[in-house]
Amino acid sequence: MTPPCFQSPAIYQEWGENMLNYGAKTTTFSQLMKEALDPEKLLFIRPDDDNKSFAGEMIKYEDCLRCFEGLQTVENSGVSLESRIIVGEPYQIGREWQL
């Protein structure tokens, strides 16, 4: 489990607008699936830990729902409906520095 000091809310509090995903929210797949977003809305989604359970990506809301419906039937995938995720607006970037 990722220590709280390395989870996104703590990092955003410290680095603020200097973070690429500033303004993104921490949620879970089950909470995201309950939102009534436009099916065509493009989201950036990534795990809120360092276990690389899936790659961060831009995905349409409807595709995200479809992909993660399978989580209800898959065991030991490293990702569950209650996995903490970061969801935000996608950005076009030229370079990225990771700390």
* Inside any domain, residue 96: no
The dihedral built from the CA positions of residue 85, 67, 79 and 33, taken in this order, carries a sign that is: positive
Contact 58/46 with Cβ under 8 angstroms? no
Range of the domain at 52: 4-88
CA distances (Å), origin 85, targets 48, 52, 94, 95: 5, 11, 24, 23
* Inside any domain, residue 54: yes
Span 65-96, pLDDT tens digits: 777 777 666 666 677 788 888 899 888 878 77
* Inside any domain, residue 13: yes
What pLDDT sits at residue 36? 87
* Inside any domain, residue 46: yes
* Inside any domain, residue 97: no
Q: How many domains, the chain?
A: 1
What pLDDT sits at residue 55? 79
